[in-house]
Amino acid sequence: MRQIFVILVACLLSIGVRAQQPAATGDAVAMDAFKKEKEKSDKDIADAKNSVKASTWMDRAKTYQNIAGQFIRMDSTAATTAYEAYKKVIELDKDKKGGPGKLAKEAEEAMKGPVMYSAFMQQGVAKFQAKNYAEAMKSMAMAGEINPKDTLAPLYTAIAAQQVKDNATAKTQLEKYITGGGKDAAIYGSLAMLYRADNEIDKALATLDKGIALAPTNKDLANEKINIMLSTNRMDDAIAGMKQMVEKDPTNVQNLVNLSIVYHNVADKSTDEIRKLESAGKKGGSTAKQLADAKSIVDAYSSEIARLSASIKKTPKPELKRQLADVQKKLAEQKLEVVKYEAEAKAVAANAAASADSEKRLTELKQKQGEIKNLEKQYLDKALAVDPTNFDANFNMAVFIFNDAVEMKRGVDRMDMAEYTKNGKELDGKVCGRFRQSLPYFTKAKSIKDEVELDTNLTNLQNILKQYEEKKIVCIESK
């Protein structure tokens, strides 16, 4: 969404460049004429007698207004000078009753007219090109005040404001753009991001809703809304709102895909906690096994000591005595290992209640995550039923299945040798089959639209399937 400002800056600069290019060779003559008029005006204003005449200031206003509109490079503040001159006309030109005179009325009209608006816009462009963003912002904001119904001036003012990190002005000007009837949905996203940066979440969401109503198929706006909902823990509201949209129009593929994305993100948020609980449970199990193994080694050393002691009684050879001393040393070391693992086992036992709670929590989390993933797939299935050629639905379904296969693979990788010997080969086949089930969706998505992320995922999948083939693992695809 931030890219919109980059694009608009380019447009702004290109407008400015065009404004500065001479339209014909005759412009050089016109510029000389303006220079002479400017010099005359400056001279008249410096003259005490002429400087009190409204007509002198009117001439000055028109001269500088024309410079701003046609030859801004002659004077980068020409629009401001013209505007101040018009104000001076109003101040000086009074009728007999003290009201505005003819020139004053003309000045009032000019100050609100399209020529003055254009003059300030050109001045703003010139300032922007000179990287004087603060002055560019002031000039284009002035253009917006001259024509309150305009949407271009507030938009460009917001661009300049962002260059100087003036988010408050940027927000105000984008609000004016929207109030004035601006129809570019991306601008709604930009305003929402500014609100979000200032933690004005309700305003951000309301702005995104307006943008989505304007452009229902805009994925950036929908994704930004999802991101905000995720980061502010408003997922229940998001799901409820999106379900209403789906119920209202069950054939809107984008709404179905977006709802599946919400469920994906909800499920994904519990993954870290699940893995931490799994790791903690595995550690407790491994401590018990390590203690049992350490005690077995103690028993083995004790048996060996008994055997060697019996042999030495019969035949007291030096070699046997050396072996006995070596085994006795190893037994002493191993007993220290047993003491260490017993201490760890006691700690695990002391936390037995906590472990039980963790196990219960893990079971609940996995069950809930499974339910949410089922909902994610359900809405992807609905989206594909409505439009089998939808890129997002195909790509997201491929990723859903691929990620499911990755989780299955993690389960296999966590097996010890005994577990793998018993069931590993069959489970590897099921994992391979699950990976292969994502292939048709990736392939379909690629036939619709070729994207870098898609190509990367497809290449990874093909490499994985090739590895299973090289290991001669038969892929088993479940229904």
The CA distance from 347 to 352, in Å, is 9
Which one has a higher pLDDT value, 461 or 217?
Answer: 461
What does the pLDDT average to over 166-193? Answer: 92
Q: Is residue 254 part of a domain?
A: no
Residue 143 phi, psi dihedral angles, 5° rounding: -60, -40
Residue 280's pLDDT band (boundaries 50, 70, 90)? low
The CB density around residue 368, as the number of other CB atoms within 10 Å, is 13
pLDDT in tens, 389-440: 999 999 999 999 998 998 888 888 888 788 888 888 888 899 999 999 999 9
pLDDT in tens, 239-256: 888 888 889 889 999 889
Q: Is residue 20 part of a domain?
A: yes
Identify the pLDDT of residue 354: 53
Q: Say which amino acid occupies 344.
A: E
pLDDT in tens, 286-320: 677 777 777 878 787 788 788 778 878 877 777 76
What does the pLDDT average to over 30-40? Answer: 86
Q: Is residue 472 part of a domain?
A: yes
What does the pLDDT average to over 57-74? Answer: 90
Q: Is residue 53 part of a domain?
A: yes
Distance of CA 356 to the CA centre of its chain: 39
Q: Is residue 165 part of a domain?
A: no
- Evaluate if residue 24 carries a pLDDT over 50: no
How many structural domains are present in the chain?
Answer: 3
Q: Are residues 29 and 152 in the same domain?
A: yes
The CA distance from 269 to 1, in Å, is 24
pLDDT in tens, 252-274: 998 899 899 889 888 887 777 77
Would you state the structure tokens that stand for residue 34, as one six-digit string? Answer: 């303006």
Q: Are residues 474 and 414 in the same domain?
A: yes
- Which of 455, 452, 431 is closest to 442 using CA atoms? 455
- Evaluate if residue 38 carries a pLDDT over 80: yes
Q: Are residues 148 and 19 in the same domain?
A: yes
pLDDT in tens, 182-232: 988 889 999 999 999 999 999 999 999 999 889 887 888 888 888 888 788
Q: Is residue 250 part of a domain?
A: no
What does the pLDDT average to over 339-349? Answer: 78
* Structural domain boundaries enclosing 422: 388-479
- Boundary residue ending a domain (321, 350, 379): 350
- Evaluate if residue 25 carries a pLDDT over 60: no
Give the single-character DSSP code of 100: B
Contact 412, 448 (CB under 8 A): no
